[in-house]
Chain A
Amino acid sequence: MTNLFNYIDRPSPIHRLTGATKFVCLLLWSFAAMSTYDTRMLIGLVIVSMILFTVGRIHLKDVSFMIGFTLVFLVINSIAIYLFAPFHGTEIYGTKTYLWGLSGRFAPTAEQLFYHFNYILKYLATIPIVLLFVCTTNPSEFAASLNKIGIKYSIAYSVALALRYIPDIQKQYHEISQAGQARDIEMTKKASLINRLKSASGILIPLILSSMDRIEIISNAMELRGFGKEKKRTWYMGRPFTATDIAAMIGCAMLILLSAYLAHVNGGRYYNPFI
């Protein structure tokens, strides 16, 4: 992996949106999907997100690796919830309908399964949008976008620097750890936790100390080229908003309103079919 973004340059209407728009939409969308547990809205979001995914011309094989991670994470989390709170659903929905005649500490209830169904829907409604953002946003434009939506340029530039130096640091880490292995400094060996951590520091100390030098030189280089001079700055990769951008952002903002409206109608975050 050379870059965190999996940018795929394949022109589409989604690609044409500015990075700032996509970032705002990502935030609004995930906030809407996060706040609501209304099954109908979640199903709607899943369908729309799948459609947008195709509009962005991203193929499943482009992101199969990321989807794999996500599914594993989703399964582990669902199991954890079930183990820790097998009756979370019944608390939320206020009824207890045992299924298949079973009963006991881990017996399945319709409410619990419905809660899990909603929980999974939340993921399915967000994942395509995150993947879409990762694949259609040019990382160079990302920092410019942050500044554009009102985040201070100093912070936006920290983000840009992180993206810029991740591959370098990754490479350096790799080299240091190889040289360390020759001296038998390894993190993964069987040993007590404390010893494992101590031996990790054998690799981290050189990495961090050389990063300190790097920080010093980079800040010199930036100051020598006038960084921090003015209250604002322009961005080579910045692009102006178009009507489509505005429309996309308004559309996503409406989702938040919809979520709030549904919460009002349902008398809470949850849509309850059991009453």
Chain B
Amino acid sequence: MEKELLLEFNDFGFQYNAQAEPTLHGINLKLYRGERILIAGPSGCGKSTLVHCINGLIPFSYKGEMSGSLKLKGTETKDLSLFDISHTVGTVLQDSDAQFVGMTVAEDIAFALENDCVDDPKLHDKVKEVAALVDIDDHLTHAPSELSGGQKQRVSVAGVLVDDVDILIFDEPLANLDPATGKQAIELIDKMQEQTGATVIIVEHRLEDVLHRPVDRIVLMERGRIRADVTPDELLSGSLLKECGVREPLYLTALKYADVKISPDMHPSSLDKMVIGDADKAGLNDWYKSVEAGSVTDGKSELLRTEGISFTYREGEKIALNDISVKINEGEMTAIVGTNGAGKSTFSKVVCGFETPDKGKVFYKGDDFAEYSIKERAEHIGYVMQNPNQMISKVWIYDEVALGLRTREVPEEEIEKRVEKVLKICGLWKMRKWPISALSFGQKKRVTIASILVLDPKMIILDEPTAGQDYRHYTEIMEFLTDLNRQGITVVMVTHDMHLMLEYADRAIVFSDGRIIADDRSYNIITNDKIIKEASLKETSLYGLALKCGIDDGTDFVRHFIDYERKHVREDERGGVYD
């Protein structure tokens, strides 16, 4: 029996009213009932616009010109209403805080039913039923602030499932989750698909993480067009992903370094099921042995040291930091990892002086930091927030960067010199007369970093420096930070991103439940099963690949991989990344 055709794009295009060029062109795409589709592509490729076309926000909320045809169950979407579409298509947005409009879990799940005037007892029954389906029924009266990121996402999924939709869209479901929770999210999506038989569309650039569970097709987009619409095995065998700036799974990158040719019949979409011939295994072994181990230079002099810091936000609440003693040396590039609420952010806040510890001390170059105000600490340790929009308060780049100096009443000639220097370091000199609104996310991030660097700190702490960024922007931001680090700035990054930690941090400090449970080289952390479990991290697939190919010391393999990348690959890619 042929599967039912749910959605059909035919030579479809779309141009926003405010834009000079169309955002989508020549889209041809068919979606059948029960399929699982992954839509991938770099930022600005049009994948969000495509999703808006499917869920009806286009043309009903965002105005613009449509061309060609888009049929949902046989009817042109423009002849339907947003509400008709919402009964067929359910969307789980990336920002689970914004999607959570109810004051409690139960109310949020009930939201769509309330709007449909569903009354009791059906209203309460249905909420209970769906809550049980996503396993959140023990938290019905909880407020969003009492839930973890993963739980909020479950609520969002439930809120969409109450409508018995045919198509479920997940917009970047992994963006705000820690690695272990992200894995569970993919498993949940898989389970929901099986139970409801709905078509699932996942929009995500973290391909490897999504492929934790199988998908039928990957639609790869670039510059408003569909570049590929094929099975994962086919796509992963070619070089299209790289061309489009989407990152392939790490185990495939490693195999490609070892000159192993990937073909669809090897099933490269899943490391577990992948067939790697003996010759290829030997090839990988040879490559592994041929890589020269790089050396990591440890920072020499101590920059920051904490001794037995403990902190609780409010009396009676759970302890946020419990006896934290750690040392950071000058010139290091360090990652702080752990789940939400493990104490990572609290730690940075205590170091920067935003919060005062109940017990313990912070030393900067041996001086007790307690005597320094927030403002004075900022001249030694800069803090960069996750979202640059939360830091930017000026219209022009120059003014934004100069702000911290102006409030400190530095003479204007000196400000000019310092701003010029820092704008050059940050690759923003050519744009100094631009308004900040004209910048991309990555460029804005650089503006906020510049506005911190202008105060001349020795160390910067960055909260999730690359959250929500595609591979190109990720590389851009991280190479920039590496550059700064080479110029002598000590860099500490608070992150969920295992790739970032592995590739860019020499050292990782792992927080769990307010304590430090590990402090070691990143490759040792990411291959240690016990720590991974305890801190909700995720093992790197490189380790699995090593074992699969008969390399006993998986940790050493991971280390060699990173050394190889640093030496041979990233150097080449670096030229002009951030112009």
Contacts and interface: CB of A to CB of B under 8 A. Distances in A.
Q: Do chains A and B touch in the complex (CB under 8 A)?
A: yes
Contacts of A225: 86, 111-112, 115, 159-160, 163
Contact of B83 (A160, A202, A213, A229): A229
Contacts of A202: 393, 403
A3 B142 CA distance: 13
Interface in B27-57: 55-57
Interface stretch (B222-230, B378-386, B515-523): B378-386
A3 B103 CA distance: 11
B18 interface: no
B117 A184 contact: no
Contact of A224 (B55, B95, B110, B403): B55
A242 interface: no
A168 B97 CA distance: 9
Nearest to B94: A217
Contact of A178 (B61, B123, B145, B349): B349
Contact of A164 (B102, B159, B374): B102
Interface string A138-154: 01100000000000000
Nearest to A171: B145
B98 interface: yes
Contact of B86 (A167, A213, A218, A224): A224
A205 B455 CA distance: 22
B110 A184 contact: no
Contact of A232 (B91, B106, B117): B117
Interface in A1-57: 2-3
A37 B143 CA distance: 43
A206 B378 contact: no
Main secondary structure of the interface of B (DSSP, over half): helix
Interface residues of B, number: 66
A218 B99 CA distance: 6
A235 interface: yes
Contacts of A199: 407
Interface string A212-233: 0110011111111111111011
B107 interface: yes
Contacts of A183: 378, 403-404, 407, 451-452, 455
Nearest to A219: B61
Contact of A236 (B99, B106, B349, B375): B106
Contacts of A95: none
A217 B86 contact: no
A232 B98 CA distance: 23
A164 B105 CA distance: 12
B455 to A, nearest CB: 8
A88 to B, nearest CB: 44
Given A182-B378, A223-B82, A224-B57, A175 B390 contact: yes
A139 B102 CA distance: 11
Contact of A228 (B91, B115, B160, B389): B115
Contact of B390 (A176, A232, A236, A237): A176
B123 A234 contact: yes
B87 to A, nearest CB: 8
A255 interface: no
A168 B163 CA distance: 28
Interface in B357-407: 374-375, 377-378, 382-383, 385, 387, 389-394, 403-404, 407
B127 A221 contact: no
B197 to A, nearest CB: 21
Nearest to B169: A224
A164 B93 contact: no
B21 interface: no
A102 interface: no
Interface string B474-513: 0000000000000000000000000000000000000000
Contacts of B378: 182-184
A236 B97 CA distance: 20
B61 A206 contact: no
B393 A233 contact: no
A203 B403 CA distance: 12
Contact of B103 (A139, A218, A226): A139
Contact of B408 (A140, A184, A233, A237): A184
A77 interface: no
A220 to B, nearest CB: 6
A230 B160 CA distance: 18
A70 interface: no
A227 B108 CA distance: 12
B86 A178 contact: no
Interface of B: 55-57, 60-61, 82-83, 86-87, 90-91, 93, 95, 97-99, 101-104, 106-107, 110-120, 123-124, 127, 143-145, 159-160, 163, 349, 352, 354, 374-375, 377-378, 382-383, 385, 387, 389-394, 403-404, 407-408, 451-452, 455
30 contacts: A140-B102, A160-B103, A164-B102, A168-B145, A172-B390, A180-B393, A182-B374, A182-B382, A182-B383, A183-B452, A184-B375, A205-B392, A205-B393, A206-B393, A213-B389, A221-B93, A221-B101, A223-B57, A224-B86, A225-B159, A225-B160, A226-B116, A227-B111, A234-B118, A234-B123, A235-B114, A236-B102, A236-B110, A236-B114, A236-B127
Interface of A: 2-3, 139-140, 160-161, 163-164, 167-168, 172, 175-176, 178-185, 199, 201-203, 205-206, 209-210, 213-214, 217-230, 232-237
